Amino acid sequence: MSSAWPAHVPPLLQRIYAARGVLDADTARPRLQHLLPPDTLTGMAEAARLLDDAIAARRRIVVVGDFDCDGATACAVAVRGLRMLGAREVAYAVPNRIVHGYGLSPGLVDELAALSPELLLTVDHGIACHAGIRAAKARGWQVLVTDHHLPGPTLPPADVIVDPNLPGDAFASKTLAGVGVIFYVLLALRGVLRARDAFPGEAPDLRVLLDLVAVGTVADLVPLDANNRALVAAGLQRLRDGRACAGLQALVAVSGRDAARLTASDIGFAVGPRLNAAGRLEDMSIGIECLLCDDPGQAQALAQTLDRINAERRGVQQAMIDDADAAIAGRPLEFAGGAPAAVCLFDPDWHPGVVGLVASKLKERLHRPVVAFAPAEPGSTQLRGSARSIPGFHIRDALAAVDVGCPGLIGKFGGHAMAAGLSLERDAFAAFEAAFRAHAERQLDASLLEAVIDSDGNLAPGEFDRVHAEALRDGGPWGQGFPEPVFDGEFDVLDARPVGQRHLKLSLRVQGRPAPLPAIHFGGALDGGALPPRVRLAYRLAPDDYRGGQAIQLVIDYREAAG
């Protein structure tokens, strides 16, 4: 292995990094001093000057957020950051998913008039909001768009746009989340303010916002390239050290996680969903208020409200997934021998805020692109759809291809390679399904439709210990594009018993290690029958903090009978 590694990095972790193209410690754990400079982002200088002028003239700035976790954290970063940098007239607004739909719409602009804005700052959206931006400009407002989504063939008529995915943009990382883009805008604004001696003493330390940046980045499932890993690692450290904002500390507490050992996975599976739930079922302003709150008691109350909404979301989601399973079971000829190349589902009773989760679950199960639709609101003839994809099939480009081939079929759409959203009329569903499937069949060959688990190989008997488990846990942040290590191997089953309603607890033995290995397979409870005496597993090695001490456990991702 490379001599660049410090002595405390075990050979196992060095091997893991090498498999991800990382050959030295600085690249494995990039620091803030390695961040790409803001000035290579198109429009950054103009954005900083626009905000500087607004602050100097005490213009009223209204931050317009979005109703997912990235949008909520981006909104909180913008409001907190602008206030830190001297803005005195800052408010925020966020669309309601049911009432306004996605982004800055003309209807939302009409409501924003009550706030008397002079400058609208969009975060995590805006690149596709042509009509809303035209409506804002018609009222005489300035508009600054900060976004990370892919632009369409034409750009909206904003005063300034900052988006790393603009054509010709020179910023080396195209995977910033929306919260990362606004953080970079604040860095540039601080530079302009510092250059004109706007601060009587030290310039504000924007690192205090990185807890929010980390949460939004991880929750939005953007690839964790080196730049994003630097942002997330710094934010995670603030969370672990107890230096996060009161709202995030409260959300970590209500999710039952140990802040001192918090990981990116905990953000993705515990913190992020509790914020997202507000935007899915109620009003994301509850989540944003939690993130803006500085009073621990109030933050705890808001976090408990978000926890309750999330519990409701889980119930709605499970009912919708049961409906989807029944719909698939009711189409036996279509699904004989496996699912078609792409799956489209619609149910008039589904909730538009949860269809993305249904699409995601079915995508994982079927390993096919899935688009799930619900009425935009009860009784509406307009449908809102959420799409999730598999590697090798760019879902936003697929929607663009359908839009070109069938003009007027899709109302509007936008998104990324792996996730997208769209709207269409209810009577257009069948035509969309046919066009989308036809495109998928042309683009997807059999190899792409076969699910693959990438493994980091076997663990040696001596590597099943707490030292290696902690090194793997702390070697991240792991996430999209920089996956958490997964291993595979064969084990003898000593014992297996159900825990909870759907989980399976196992005791295993591996050759060369006499002591039994505890394991857990979440969602892996037996549906009748018994486990074979020997199994092949894909698993993660993790510290077992519940038992403490030197305890470890295998967290099983997949199992099958050993051949």
pLDDT, tens digit (0-9, with 9 covering 90-100), for 335-383: 766 788 999 999 999 999 999 999 999 999 999 999 999 999 888 999 9
Question: Domain coordinates of the chain in residue numbers?
Answer: 11-20+38-305, 331-443, 461-561
Q: Tell me what pLDDT residue 545 has.
A: 80
Give the model confidence (pLDDT) of 74-123 as tens digits.
999 999 999 999 999 999 999 988 788 888 999 999 999 999 999 999 99
Give the model confidence (pLDDT) of 197-232 as tens digits.
999 889 999 999 999 999 999 999 899 999 999 999
For the stretch 462-467, contacts whose Cβ atoms lie closer than 8 Å and that sit 24 or more positions apart, written own/partner, are 462/513, 463/12, 463/541, 464/510, 464/513, 464/517, 464/541, 464/552, 465/550, 465/552, 466/543, 466/550, 466/551, 466/552, 467/10
First-to-last C-alpha distance (Å) of the chain: 33
**Token code pair at residue 421:** 């959203």
DSSP 8-state class, residue 559: E
Residues 11-20+38-305, CATH architecture: Alpha-Beta Complex (3.90)
State mean pLDDT over 163-182.
Answer: 96
Q: Tell me what pLDDT residue 528 has.
A: 65
Cβ-Cβ contacts under 8 Å for 493 (sequence gap 6 or more): 506, 507, 508, 531, 532, 533, 534, 535
State mean pLDDT over 9-27.
Answer: 94
- DSSP-derived secondary structure for 21-76: T--SHHHHS--GGGPPPGGGSTTHHHHHHHHHHHHHTTPPEEEE--SSHHHHHHHH
State mean pLDDT over 38-46.
Answer: 97
Is residue 282's pLDDT more than 90?
A: no
Q: Tell me what pLDDT residue 1 has.
A: 43
Give the model confidence (pLDDT) of 381-404 as tens digits.
999 999 999 999 999 999 999 999
CB-based contact 123:75 (threshold 8 Å): yes
Q: Tell me what pLDDT residue 339 has.
A: 80
Cβ-Cβ contacts under 8 Å for 443 (sequence gap 6 or more): 393, 398
Angle, helices 429-443 vs 395-405, to 10°: value is 120
Is residue 159's pLDDT more than 90?
A: yes
DSSP 8-state class, residue 274: H
- Number of neighbours of residue 318 by Cβ within 10 angstroms: 14
Is residue 433's pLDDT more than 80?
A: yes
Give the model confidence (pLDDT) of 466-498 as tens digits.
999 999 999 999 999 999 999 999 999 999 999
Is residue 287's pLDDT more than 80?
A: yes
Average pLDDT, the chain: 94
State mean pLDDT over 40-45.
Answer: 97
Q: Tell me what pLDDT residue 378 has.
A: 87
Where is 213: in which H helix or E strand?
helix 210-219
- DSSP-derived secondary structure for 328-359: HHT-TTTTTTS--SSEEEE-TT--TTTHHHHH
Residue with the larger pLDDT of the pair 288 and 446: 288
CB-based contact 394:417 (threshold 8 Å): yes
d(CA 335, CA 255): 38
d(CA 152, CA 169): 15
Q: What is the CATH number of domain 331-443?
A: 3.10.310.30
State mean pLDDT over 117-134.
Answer: 97
State mean pLDDT over 290-310.
Answer: 97
Q: Tell me what pLDDT residue 376 has.
A: 92
CB-based contact 426:437 (threshold 8 Å): no
SS3 at position 560: strand
Q: What's the whole-model pTM score?
A: 0.91
Q: For residue 2, name the pLDDT band (cuts at 50, 70, 90).
A: very low
CATH class held by domain 461-561: mainly beta
Burial-class residue 195 by CB neighbours within 10 Å (0-12, 13-18, 19+): exposed
